[in-house]
Amino acid sequence: MNYTIKQIIDQLAAGETTAVALATQYLDRIEAHADLNAFITVDREKALAQAAAADAARAAGDTRPLLGVPFAHKDIFCAEGWKTTCGSKMLDNFVAPYSSNVAELCDAAGLVTLGRTNMDEFAMGSSNENSFYGAVKNPWDLNAVPGGSSGGSAAAVAARLVPMATGTDTGGSIRQPAAFCGITGIKPTYGIVSRFGMIAYASSLDQGGAMAQTAEDCAILLNVMAGFDERDATSLEHAKEDYTRDLNAPLAGVKIGLPREYFAEGLADDVRAAIETAIAEYKQLGATIVDVSLPNTKMAIPSYYVIAPAEASTNLSRFDGVRYGHRAADYAGLNDMYEKTRAEGFGNEVKRRILTGAYVLSHGYYDAYYLQAQKIRRIISDDFQAAFKECDVLFSPVSPSTAWNLGEKNADPVAMYLEDIYTLGVNLAGLPAMSVPVGFGSNGRPVGMQIIGNYLSESRMLGIAHQFQQVTDWHTKAPQI
């Protein structure tokens, strides 16, 4: 169960295993560890049918490298014939009538879908406690959160329930759960992965990405997911590229920037120590460390929590009980139906963000809040570009601490928002970034380090992460469950 995607690909090609055997192994393990609550939907019959078809295709001479490799989708990507809930009661009865671009590309590659992973409702949250289907548990410590909103995908990969999974990242929702669960996760440049069929939270921030054990595995999955899609107006017309091409590039001469604002007060000592040890390893590999500044870091949280809720309030207006999804059973007229449907269908965090968004977009407040937040967004982006004039990549923590306990921050939403301080700026600027496991905190919970690159530098980032993983073994560690 500890095989990487690369190893699975080699095994299938050599005839040492079959897609059906792999799918059965992983499905059995998912069933055995249902207590993690990492999945919303698992369909054994459908998965084994896909696996059997993959085996038949391979026997007939099909040489697609990923043919028959099992994986899971975050339950935010529409896939035809699959229940797609986005972690919400509002979509508990919704079966997607079409597939997202990401789902289409994964199907075309021959991947076998085992199921749909749990997530914070409509991707709003940092702990995966906001799901209608209950909280996901961190496989390293069942009392800890796995991070969010892609907590189900992170927990599933960490627990070896699947070898890889898709995720989405609006303000850190791939990187933070990857860090908390001790796996590798990458959020590419905004527009690299199509958002068509990916249920929207904040359209100018949402981006799909890959979660797996290693940087190499993430590169392999990103090769499948990335590409221009004319159905998504924000999709980048960027030539298809091979994200594995720089995996073996040496690190000699690479300049790593350390933003001083990301290592200031508020960073836990055990997280700092793990990252400093990783940085020392990079020095041994030939990289150069430079000090840089991102002076407007402190403005990332207030600007994000104006822009994201504003876009969410607009995107979620479509869930009204008329066209699809939940509808209140008892109502007296159209307006009453709208009100009761949305009151029943949305959880507290989603309601909080819809209300915030509606407020900042309302007459008299748009200029004072939303417009100002967009101006700050540009300033934050400019800060990153200034930093990249001095270095090739930036290293930073992913979160100020390791995973906190389930329920610990539920009474104080702002305290949870503050945990996103190191990840939000990347989304505001549309940059690529990833999380790499670099050790464990004093409580035995994983620590991740963030690697931030300039636009379209995914392959270089993945190479930098891969070189570290060639001389360390943090990415091979698995929870004993």
Residues catalogued as catalytic: 74, 149, 173
What is the Cα 406 distance to its own chain's centre? 20
CB 281 within 8 A of CB 287: no
d(CA 213, CA 231): 31
For β-strands 433-440 and 184-187, DSSP reports them as antiparallel
Question: What backbone phi and psi angles, to 5 degrees, belong to 114?
Answer: -85, -30
Torsion of CA 226, 230, 234, 237, to 10 degrees: 60
CB 250 within 8 A of CB 34: no
Rg of the chain over CA atoms, in angstroms? Answer: 21
CB 296 within 8 A of CB 158: no
Q: What is the DSSP string of 361-395?
A: TSTTTIIIIIIHHHHHHHHHHHHHHHHHTT-SEEE
Longest distance between any two alpha carbons in the chain, whole Å: 70
AA identity, residue 364: G
Whether a cis peptide bond, with omega within 30° of 0, leads into 313 is no
